[in-house]
Amino acid sequence: MFRRWAALLALLVLAVPDARADAVADFYRGKVIRVVVGFGSGGGYDVYARLLARYFGKYIPGNPSLVVQNMPGAGGLRAANFIYAAAPKDGTTIGMFSRDMPLLAALGTTSGVQFDPQKFTWIGSSSSFVDDAYVLIVRADAPATSIAEARRPGGPPLVLAGSGEGAPGNDVPMILRDTIGLNAKVVSGYPDSSAMFLAMERGEVHGRTVDLSTLRSFRSTWLQPGSGMNVLVQFARKTRHPELADIPMARELAPTDDARALIELAELPYVMARPFAAPPGVPQDRAQALQAAFLATHRDPQYLEEAAKLKVDVSPVGGTDVLHTVERIAGASQRSVDHLRKLLAETKGGG
């Protein structure tokens, strides 16, 4: 009798995962998952979201369809708030917004933040910046053509394009100004990456900060000698990128330990460079299915082939690793947080 009960119990235990998988498949079958992107079309975030959407449904039980919706505004803040507070919590809506949103929440300098980043249902990040870098690139006719020139006080500042408060294009130049003496000002309000590229081409601004992978995808000729563009400094890396071996990293130029600590805090979000999240409260079985499908998608040969053609960095991390990064940001030293909070509060509105 004992053996019979034991065998029956074993069968029930083995049947539980199958039952959960069947329930997830039943839910998603015939459904459409909306992927909300916090930036306009034609930029790096949009490319990653649309690339994922073409393959993700194949690995979700029930094989739902996916549709991408752009929701630009406030450097991704609008989309982050929507996913957290207004999107359905049933696993049919996921979002992609700025990697800096967890840092913005930790600083508490923006009244518009309506989310707790530790409570998102983190699905994963398509890039951990293994083969990427965040760079400052300027036109050849800019007031400075090297980082040494850009750090000299007293001359005309570099005028850089930015989007909204909390976006890297706004905050990173101000961090570089404070830590390594970059002589720059930011013109905010550009709706997306495409608009900032056009502003550079038209001469409205001298340059911008941007992912190396985005340059590869949309302005690859700018990285070639004689292009009329100059990369001045790298950010978000511990070592120089192989393609930019002659370009210094910001942390190399930091004059003090405090400056270096501030740079390293601001670089933390790049470990989750292209993040995807669902609202809090998604049923656990669906959340786990989305997280597993996310990593499976990034092993798909066709996905990888298309990513290579698009020249984007694919170095995925799962939802648990993204959450750990968010927790590291939330647990950063109070001294560095206070310093960064003060800096961004002083420069709010474009510096």
pLDDT grade for 105, boundaries at 50, 70 and 90: very high
For residue 349, name the pLDDT band (cuts at 50, 70, 90).
very low
- The per-residue pLDDT for 14 is 54
Q: Tell me the pTM.
A: 0.84
Taking the alpha carbons of 70, 73, 75, 79 in that order, is the dihedral positive or negative? negative
**Ranges 88-97, 116-125, 328-337: which has the least confidence:** 328-337
* Token pair recorded at residue 278: 């669902």
According to DSSP, residue 43 is labeled S
How much of the chain exceeds pLDDT 90, in percent? 78
Question: What is each CA distance from 259 to 62, 223, 251, 264, 335, in whole angstroms?
Answer: 50, 29, 8, 9, 11
**pLDDT surpassing 60 at residue 13:** no
Rounded CA-CA distance 185/192 in Å is: 18
Using an 8 Å Cβ cutoff, are 319 and 124 in contact?
yes
Q: Where are the domains of the chain?
A: 21-129+271-335, 134-269
CATH superfamily membership of 21-129+271-335 = Bordetella uptake gene, domain 1 (3.40.190.150)
Q: Please state whether 181 falls in left (phi above 0), alpha (psi between -120 and 50) or beta.
A: left
Rounded Cα distance, 124 and 54, in Å: 17
| Long-range own/partner contacts, residues 150-156 (CB < 8 A, 24 or more apart) | 150/182, 150/183, 150/184, 150/232, 150/233, 151/180, 151/181, 151/182, 151/183, 151/253, 152/183, 153/181, 153/183, 155/183, 156/183
Length of the chain (residues): 351
pLDDT in tens, 231-290: 999 999 889 999 999 999 999 999 999 999 999 999 999 999 999 999 999 999 999 999
Residue 15 reports pLDDT greater than 70: no
| Band (18; pLDDT cuts 50, 70, 90) | low
Architecture of domain 134-269 in this structure? 3-Layer(aba) Sandwich (3.40)
Write the CA distances from 76 to 111, 262, 306, integer angstroms.
14, 23, 26
